[in-house]
Structure 1
Amino acid sequence: MKRSLKDIMFVQSDKHDVGYVLRICAIAALGGILFGYDTAVISGAVGSLQSYFHLSPAEIGWAVSNVLLGCILGAAVSGWLADRFGRRPTLAVSAVLFTASAIGAALATGFAWFVVYRFIGGVAVGVASSVSPMYMSEVSPKDMRGRALYMESFAIVGGQLAVFIVNYLIARSATEEWLTNVGWRWMLGSEVIPCIVFCAAIFFMPESPRWHVLRGRDDDAMQTLTRISNEQHARSVLTEIKDSLEHKIETSDLGRAVASKGARWIIFVGASVAMLQQLTGVNSMMYYAPLVLGSVSGSVQNALFQTIWIGVASVSGAVLGSWVIDHKGRLPLFRFGSIGMIIGLLVASWALYTQTQGYSALAGMLVYMLLFGLSWGPLTWVLIAEIFPNRIRGVGMSIAVSANWVMNFIVSQLFPMIAQNQRLDSLFHGALPMWLFALFTLFSWWFVERYVPETKGIALEKIESVMLAPKRQPKASTATVPKDGLTDIPGQK
């Protein structure tokens, strides 16, 4: 019998309280909404910022990409913060930083102060982008983990869509002079509203049971696990968690744990997937969509309106993906999505190269964003939230998410310098970056096919042995996987 999206997302399981899991994951996903809102709000303001602060192409890149340096810092410290203080308090810190950044950037009187406050927002994004999916993976039962983690991606693209609509509504009837002097401040300041909601909602989510076990608070962990499922299942899960942490790694041993062969390989795969996501070019479209579409759309207002549909396509892809991920698996979505993204990039690039007026470029970008929202967008966050062993999950996710933001910074800084280079623009009319992204997407598809295993339906405590299957590793660096599936992390037998 066919099941609807509502059935798949919300019907009660015999073992789990699906509604409760999705509610607490939805609160954590508010960090994703702010992640999407904060990173995409600049797309509507970048043209006004260029005029207001008299920025060169390199400075435009800096206005957009400086926030990504903050993301790198936030992601780098997120693992330590989450392991030391807990997942929930760390998310609370990010909520406060989001609020301070939105207010400060909206009121900035000079470009230097604008950069400072955007950097603070970047730190918040870096923390939330690591800890939100970490928390969601740790409170979700294995047979609905993909569904729950898709909420993070849905929240990110939902935040992006929301800000695209807000930016358009602000600019719809405005004069160019008003947008240059005041409009961009309203765009940036509008983020305060979701910030306040996130700050309030955090108090209604429990701490991660896996963090409680790490801290020896088994009773607290048992209470949350029982609320998620039932007492019998909760005891079974608690035993699995405790077994995976039987030999607890102290801070002084963490470096050796990360340096072990098995851990190095898993971190390499996680960080590579995270970087490859950015090389597909998604955030260049998110940050610079109005500039890309400006040459073929006719006006700033038209470009901002068309950008809304890019957000709609991304959200639609996330909804479709959440429908099938726990049934079809991760790898089929990667395959299908990569092919569609390449096709979309080629269509958009051809429209730009030939300077075809109308909706051809937008159509290609819509295809790309729909398939990205179905595949590489959410699946990257699903994988890096799944694949790291409990002992090194905090530091592993920090490294992977930091790698994602480093590549995001590189791509975002270079994109306007390539797209607005007079010689390259005269030759390719803005199509060159799209061609490069298509090639990188093809390579990314190959990497996943070669080195990433299917993780559908596998408990977090069991994924490690799947990740270290010899066929997934180069012969020179194949780690030994003992019969119990554990790597040579110090303290393991």
Structure 2
Amino acid sequence: MRSVILITFVTAVGGFLFGFDNGAISGSAGFIQDRFRLGPGGLGWVTSSIIVGCVVGVVIAGRLSDAIGRRKIMLGTSVVFVVGAIGEALAPSSGLLVAARILVGVGIGTETTIAPLYIAEVAPPRVRGRLVSFNQLFNTVGNLVVFTVSALISRMNSDAWNVSTGWRYTFGVGVVPAVAFFLLLFLVPESPRWLVRAGRRAEALTVLTRISATEDDARAELAAIEGASGAHAARLRDVLAPRFRKTLLIGFGVALFQQITGINAIFYYAPEVFKSAGLGSNDAMSSTVLIGVVLVLATLLSMWLIDKAGRRSLLLVGAVAMTVLLAATGVVFRAPHPDGPLLLALILGYVAFFAVSFGTVTYVVISEIFPTHIRGVAASVATFALWGGNYLVSQFFPVLVSGIGSSSTFFLFSGISLLALVFTAVLVPETKGRSLEEVERDLYGPGERAGKQPVPRG
């Protein structure tokens, strides 16, 4: 079990980079807007450009990881994080800043696709949800750290210095964890399920022996994996086959709803949202740090609950709470002078329920519901929806606020959360406590495993 925890910890450092690099724009957006004299659309593009890279990362991650392995892809991703962070920190123009953010996005998109999948492939069933959630926990820690770094840099210097230079330090700090991620990855092995698919049975047994309680357990696990492994690398047309369409819809839908319920409007634009409610610049930055603290604490709660309450239950509870809290936020913004402390309380509540439910559970569901032989490509398709939704929110949130107002924008997010509730109630299955091979059998039937033709029923 110690080996599994080490693997989980090292892999989750990539989640920290996701949270840090994705959240770095939050405390920097206002300064960057002034530095490069950007309008709402220009600020939206600088903010959302990272998503373009994320989509590229998602598209290439699954197929490449199926071809050359999970670990090698993560090593390459760590290098991308290093180069991208340096580029953001040194960018002399908004165009080059956008280019660097796209590169960082490639790393984030790849990490969010492969890291949960890799952890799921080495984790014991009884704690798989908790271990996969480590990646999201480190993501929230990354958010908290970058929010804190941004607030400290902002408070220690004048607005003029922050506009010209301060935001560069926020991005530059991201080089340190990126280098650490690269070095730590040399401590972890390749996924045993990928090794079996690659025909490297002896290496897979070695890894399984390292992470299992006994050698007999390792051999039994190896036999189960061999029974479920496909004979060929999956292609997109395999993933789109009729027997996989329902689970693809589930993964795609959960990932999309994670994003379009508005969480990145908070992550990317929180200081500006709080300023619009009358808070000063320093108070707005401090409120953003509180969001980071709540994210971490709520994610820890989700990790404790996910293998007890289950994935589906957390999604349902979260969707109900998010619907109510976002609607209440819309009501607050209808006032001529919005109540700042009340707004902060509602947003913190929304962030907490998001983190307990969709923020954590989405990655676990995507890592569990697809058969072994298509898992990499299918995870890419589902994660594509996640980053597509992220792009829509980050690009158009400033435009929506400018066009229809903050109140109507949050009412819109509330309505989308209600749709997420209906979607979850109708389609999302419960997967807690089952091995990946058992989940595959439950969802597809024994005749449809490993890419075999389905056994006629009835």
Which residue matches 2:385?
403
Q: What does residue range 255-274 of structure 1 map to in structure 2 within 5 Å? A: 255-274=236-255
Question: Does residue 364 of the first structure (1) align with residue 346 of the second (2)?
Answer: yes
| In structure 1, distance between residues paired with 2:297 and 2:355 | 7
Give the conservation status (yes or no) of the 8 Å contact 2:129–2:306.
yes
Q: What does residue range 115-154 of structure 1 map to in structure 2 within 5 Å? A: 115-154=98-137
| In structure 2, distance between residues paired with 1:330 and 1:224 | 28
Question: Does residue 447 of the first structure (1) align with residue 423 of the second (2)?
Answer: yes
Q: How much does 1:31 deviate?
A: 0.8
| In structure 2, distance between residues paired with 1:324 and 1:491 | 37
Question: Does residue 295 of the first structure (1) align with residue 304 of the second (2)?
Answer: no
Q: What does residue range 56-455 of structure 1 map to in structure 2 within 5 Å? A: 56-229=39-212, 230-245=214-229, 247-250=230-233, 254-354=235-335, 355-421=337-403, 424-425=404-405, 430-455=406-431
Q: How much does 1:295 deviate?
A: 1.9
| CA separation of 1:187 and 1:408: change in aligned 2, threshold 3 A | same
Q: Bigger CA drift: 292-301 or 129-138?
A: 292-301
Q: How much does 1:343 deviate?
A: 2.7
Query: Between Structure 1 and Structure 2, how many residues are aligned?
Result: 453
> 1:169-218: per-residue Cα shift (whole Å, max 9, x none)?
10013211111100111111111111111111111111110111011111
Which residue matches 2:28?
45
| CA separation of 1:438 and 1:194: change in aligned 2, threshold 3 A | same
| In structure 1, distance between residues paired with 2:218 and 2:424 | 33
| In structure 2, distance between residues paired with 1:344 and 1:219 | 53
Give the conservation status (yes or no) of the 8 Å contact 1:94–1:124.
yes
| In structure 1, distance between residues paired with 2:332 and 2:317 | 23
| CA separation of 1:255 and 1:132: change in aligned 2, threshold 3 A | closer
| In structure 2, distance between residues paired with 1:264 and 1:489 | 14
Give the conservation status (yes or no) of the 8 Å contact 2:88–2:172.
yes
| In structure 2, distance between residues paired with 1:437 and 1:357 | 20
| In structure 1, distance between residues paired with 2:249 and 2:339 | 43
Q: Bigger CA drift: 174-183 or 289-298?
A: 289-298
How well do the aligned residues superpose, as a CA RMSD in angstroms? 1.5
> 1:143-187: per-residue Cα shift (whole Å, max 9, x none)?
110010110110111111110001001001321111110011111
Please state whether the residue corresponding to 2:435 is helix, strand or coil.
coil
Give the conservation status (yes or no) of the 8 Å contact 2:85–2:175.
yes
Give the conservation status (yes or no) of the 8 Å contact 1:347–1:364.
yes
Q: How much does 1:273 deviate?
A: 1.1
> 1:86-143: per-residue Cα shift (whole Å, max 9, x none)?
1111001111111111111110111111111110000000000101001100010111
| In structure 2, distance between residues paired with 1:214 and 1:412 | 38
TM-score by length of 1: 0.89
| CA separation of 1:434 and 1:131: change in aligned 2, threshold 3 A | same
More helix by share: 2
Q: How much does 1:266 deviate?
A: 1.6
Q: How much does 1:319 deviate?
A: 0.5
| In structure 1, distance between residues paired with 2:110 and 2:20 | 15
Structure 1 unaligned runs (5+)? 1-16, 469-480
Give the conservation status (yes or no) of the 8 Å contact 1:349–1:432.
yes
TM-score by length of 2: 0.96
Give the conservation status (yes or no) of the 8 Å contact 2:373–2:450.
no
| CA separation of 1:382 and 1:255: change in aligned 2, threshold 3 A | closer
Q: Bigger CA drift: 78-87 or 345-354?
A: 345-354
Structure 2 unaligned runs (5+)? none
Give the conservation status (yes or no) of the 8 Å contact 2:58–2:380.
yes
Give 2:338's aligned amino acid: T
**Sequence identity (%):** 36
| CA separation of 1:267 and 1:164: change in aligned 2, threshold 3 A | same
Q: How much does 1:344 deviate?
A: 2.3
Q: How much does 1:392 deviate?
A: 0.3
| In structure 2, distance between residues paired with 1:436 and 1:466 | 36
Give the conservation status (yes or no) of the 8 Å contact 1:33–1:156.
yes
